[in-house]
Structure 1
Amino acid sequence: MKRLSVLVAALSLSGAAFAGAADAVVVHEPYVRLAPPNAQATGAFMVLKNTGEREVKLVKADNPASQLTELHNHINDNGVMRMRQVPEIAIPAKGEAVLKPGGLHVMLINMKAALNEGQVVPITLTFDDGSSKQVEVKVVKMMPAAMPMKHAH
């Protein structure tokens, strides 16, 4: 019996250590952009803050609302902004990675159904040490960028 309790204690400790990266990363301001009707993809954005002493890498994301979930970045390809899949998103020790429109983000591709404003999409983030955390992400309607006001004279 003593051997069993030692084994249970060891497994508990290894599980706590295994949760490392997921426990070190705090997610702020997560949202999924409401896609236009019939759109097959949308993006998820958030700030990932690493409270830990070592760099953490986000290596995978998953969600039940789309058939595919990929990590992406926008790159300037000879003056044309293009989205490209990236293998990971680094979050520096005691630093942050900002996932925002026009930059790093999580792509939800081949939507299973249209999302509605206010709906919550659970997104599971997986890190380079194998640990993961689920984030409840609200779907929000994005306002178009402010247009310059024309003043009547």
Structure 2
Amino acid sequence: MTLLKSLFVAALLSVSFAAVAHEYEVGELHIDHPWSREMPPSAPTAAAYFIIHNKGATADRLVSVDTPFAGKAEMHEHVDQNGLMKMQQVPFVNVPAGGEATFAPMAYHVMLFNLKQQGKDGERFPLTLHFEKAGAVTVQVAVQKEAPAAQHDMSQHQQ
């Protein structure tokens, strides 16, 4: 019976991990786990995060994003200006050959304005990423109460 229970627990854990983890490919680019934090119903904006891995030998760049979930989607970054953190829009984000671009809290992120509705934990919404070379890919952004464990402390990003 103990072996059966162990197998059952392992199966449950792998199913719950599969429900949380999701990945997308476009050309040589691999997009890991797009997510957004659940916000209060009155919040006017939200943000989306993910990591883009470039498995190719040629750099690419993310040039725009859009979603039917919001009236407007923009790429932003946090920058330190004289000891004060400031958020600013960026026209593109480079994805170096063999490297990655990280969209995480306090780094690059996609700002969503004029939300059609506020996402709730467990829901997903589409976000289309437009790359200069690889083209477009639509990902499903998972709304979560908390940041994924791997992204809690991510504040480094590449430009």
TM over 0.5: yes
State the identity %.
35
**Is 1:123 aligned to residue 127 of structure 2?**
yes
Give the aligned partner of residue 66 of structure 1: 70
Question: Aligned residue for 2:55?
Answer: 51
Unaligned runs of 5+ in 2: 1-24, 153-159
The 3-state SS of whatever aligns with 2:27 is helix
* Paired position in structure 1 for 2:82: 78
- Is residue 2:147 matched to residue 1:140? no
State the match for 1:107 in structure 2. Answer: 111
Q: Give the structure-2-normalised TM-score.
A: 0.73
Runs of 4+ in 1 over 3 A off after TM superposition: none
Contact 2:29 2:134 in 1 (8 A): no
Aligned residues: 124
Aligned ranges for residues 79-94 of structure 1 at < 5 Å? 79-94=83-98
How far off its partner does 1:61 sit?
A: 0.6
Using the alignment, how far apart are the partners of 2:45 and 2:135 within structure 1?
Answer: 26
The Cα of 1:115 is off from its aligned counterpart by 1.3
Structure with larger Rg? 1
The TM-score, its normalising length taken from structure 1, stands at: 0.76
Distance 2:126 2:32 in 1: 14
Give the distance between the partners of 2:82 and 2:41, measured in 1 at CA.
31
Native 8 Å contact 1:63 1:123 kept in 2: yes
Q: 1:48-88: CA deviations, max 9, x gaps?
A: 00111111100101111110000000011222211100011
CA distance in 2 between partners of 1:34 and 1:50 (Å): 28
Q: Report the alpha carbon displacement of residue 35 of structure 1 after superposing the two structures with TM.
A: 1.6
* SS of residue in 2 equivalent to 1:68: strand
Partner amino acid, structure 2, of 1:73: E
Q: Distance in 2 between the 1:124 and 1:114 partners?
A: 18
Tell me by how many angstroms 1:130 deviates. Answer: 7.0
Partner Cα separation in structure 2 for residue 86 and residue 43 of structure 1: 15
Structure 1 unpaired stretches of 5+? 1-20, 146-153
